[in-house]
Amino acid sequence: MSNEERIIQFREKYEKEKPMYKAWGNYVKEYILSQVSKLPYSKDSIIKIPVKVRVKDIESITAKAFFRANKNYTDPINQITDKVGIRFVVMVEEQIKIIQDIVEKSDLWEKSKDVDYEAAREKTPELFGYQSVHYIVRNKNSFERDNIVVEKNIPCEIQIRTLEQHAYAELSHDYIYKRKIIHPQIKRNLAKIMALNETTDGLYIHGFGNFG
């Protein structure tokens, strides 16, 4: 099979499965928010940006599957784990653990932590860079939602970050991530921003107390 034929086959299958990814993402989102609502404090004091389920558009996932220089997928439709994603943006760092706890304790899915900024910070404490917690959750059982069958073991990426981390991530993604060449001073400035974000988060906690 030629590469062009592989791309056509991939795009056809992905378009067919997009409703399933959306349904699984909505299920994960609603479950986590329902658990947050059971906590002894207002959901609005934790979740600071409306939570949206994002299914990758066809051009973006095609580029990732076949044209991204640092990727080498042999079975992209199954190997790509962020076809659908959800982002939870909280006020301060200590609230990240609230969402983590819900994700970790659920028996609805198998989970893996793909990005752990705390572990990275311990490993390289002298560096200041991208900070966010990423999980991949996969449903243990197939189920039906809104007349759509969600097959077993479908991945959904969950990102958890603070407002400060979110601002940094959006800036670096939109203006830096897609560039082939990045000037050293830009990298230096990004590190400064991340260092300032950590400092700001600590001042919030010490200045205002517990945000639960």
pLDDT of residue 124: 41
Residue matched to tokens 């899915």: 109
pLDDT at 208 over 60: no
User: pLDDT digits over 53-86, tens only?
Assistant: 999 999 999 999 999 877 789 999 999 999 999 9
Please give the mean pLDDT across all residues of the chain. 82
Average pLDDT over residues 183-189: 61
**Rounded to an integer, what distance in angstroms lies between the CA atom of residue 194 and that of residue 200?**
10
- Region 41-59 average pLDDT: 91
Could you tell me which CATH number the domain at 3-208 has? 3.30.460.10
Residue 31 confidence (pLDDT) above 60:
yes
pLDDT band at 41 (very low <50, low <70, confident <90, very high): confident
Which amino acid is it at 136? I
* CA–CA dist 109, 28 (Å, integer): 9
